Structure 1
Amino acid sequence: MRNIVYGINLTADGCCDHTQLSGSVEVHEYFTDLMRDADLIIYGRKTYELMVPYWPEVAKKQSGTKSENEFAQVFDAIDKVVCSRTLEHVEGNTRIIRSNLAEEVLKLKQAPGKNISLGGVSLPAELIRLGLVDEYYFLVHPVLSGQGRRLLDEVVLPEKLNLQLVDSRALKSGCMSLHYRKQ
């Protein structure tokens, strides 16, 4: 069975609001490497609309920095699924799941392939609540935001979820990479 791998940037005080963080070469390289092990990305509507068409355009025009262009190329090449009841149109190699979230995501996990990358906040929180997320990559930035959205703010887990630390490392920027696996 394929693993669903959730990767997210967090501030040291737990904020996952993208407006509170800035990208860097190191951050783009980190998430590019993470995506290389995936052949499917799952997003909710909001995250999808933040990522597309921005990154496909960067991939097409090579209009970013070297690390942004590389991220964009890897991102653009991966098939995507958007979970949304309201989104009417998707671009390129993307399809929409409109209902039966748990059932549809379980089918994706059971299909052959590499890891499934998961991004965003609301949809991942729901998939975590459903017990469908297998691995977590938290990139903790050396920033205290004092405001913004927090991971799992909107969801009550049915029980405490214990994680096993698989790897941790400090990046040159001061970010900490924490890789956990569901126990």
Structure 2
Amino acid sequence: MRKVIYGINLSLDGCCDHTKFSGGEDILEYFTQLMHGVDLIIYGRKTYELMVPYWPDVAKDQNTSKADSEFAKTFDAIDKVVFSRTLDDIEDNKTKVIRGDLKDAMLKLKQQPGGNISIGGVNLPLQMIEHGLVDEFYFVIHPVIVGEGRGLLEAKGLKENQGLKLIESKVLESGCIALHYVKQ
């Protein structure tokens, strides 16, 4: 069965608003490596519209940094699914919109052959965590306390403890700490 992995950047105080802290090339390199084992990316509408067309446009830009270019090309090459009730069909042949039940659709996707499934954003991953569908977590903790902004775990809908086991920790050049957990 395919694994569902969730990667996100966070401040020390748990803020997941990417506009509140800056990233470095080492962070893009970390997420690029993570995406090498992924053959499907799943987002909700809001996160999808943040990522596309931004990264596909970066992939076409000849004047971008090496880290931006490598992440963008890796991202652009992967098939995507968007869970949305409001998004019309997408003209991109690598992206599919699903309007059905999240849990049922995810269980079907996990049973298909292939590599890891990456999920991103906040709302959709929290729903998947509540359903026990996320297998691995990749948190990149930025060395900043922002004191405001949306926190990752503001949702209080978890019905039971989500025990995790630390598999790897790595200090990046930027001072960020990358933490890799698996669901117990």
Q: Secondary structure at the match of 2:134?
A: coil
1:62 aligns with 2:54: no
| Matching residue's letter, 1:128 | I
Query: In structure 2, do the counterparts of structure 1 residues 76 and 155 end up closer, same or farther at CA, with 3 Å as the change threshold?
Result: farther
Q: CA RMSD in A?
A: 1.0
Q: Report SS of the residue matched to 1:46.
A: helix
Distance 1:157 1:78 in 2: 30
Deviation >4 Å, runs of 4+: none
- The corresponding residue for 2:20 is 20
Mark the runs of 5 or more structure 2 residues left unpaired by the alignment: none
Q: Which residue of 1 aligns with 2:177?
A: 176
Q: Which residue of 2 aligns with 1:138?
A: 139
Aligned partner of 1:89: which letter?
A: D
| In structure 1, C-alpha distance between the alignment counterparts of 2:148 and 2:154, rounded to whole Å | 13
How does the TM-score come out when normalised to structure 1? Answer: 0.97
Aligned partners of 1:36, 1:8: CA distance in 2, in Å? 16
Number of residue pairs the alignment of both structures matches: 183
Match of 1:166 in 2: 167
Deviations 1:53-74 (A, max 9, x none): 0101111233421100100000
Query: What is the distance in 1 between the residues matched to 2:176 and 2:68?
Result: 18
What are the Cα deviations for residues 26-82 of structure 1, in whole angstroms up to 9, with x where unaligned? 111011011111000000111000000010111123342110010000000000000
* Mapped contact 1:126–1:155 kept (Cα < 8 A): no
- Is the partner of 2:137 in helix, strand or coil? strand
Per-residue deviation, 1:91: 4.2
Residues 3 and 109 of structure 1 are in contact (CA less than 8 Å); yes or no, is this contact kept in structure 2?
A: yes
TM-score where L is the length of structure 2: 0.97
Alignment of 1:3-14 (within 5 A): 3-14=3-14
Bigger mean CA deviation after superposition, 39-48 or 147-156:
147-156
Match of 1:90 in 2: 90
Q: Given that residues 16 and 151 in structure 2 are in contact (C-alpha distance below 8 angstroms), is that contact kept between their aligned partners in structure 1?
A: yes
| Contact preservation (8 Å) 2:45, 2:87 | yes
Q: Which segments of 5 or more consecutive residues in structure 1 lack a partner in the other structure?
A: none
Q: Is the 8 A contact 1:81 1:95 kept in 2?
A: yes
Query: SS in structure 1 opposite 2:81?
Result: strand
Identity of aligned residues (%): 60
Q: Distance in 2 between matches of 1:33 and 1:156?
A: 32
Q: Distance in 2 between matches of 1:50 and 1:155?
A: 25
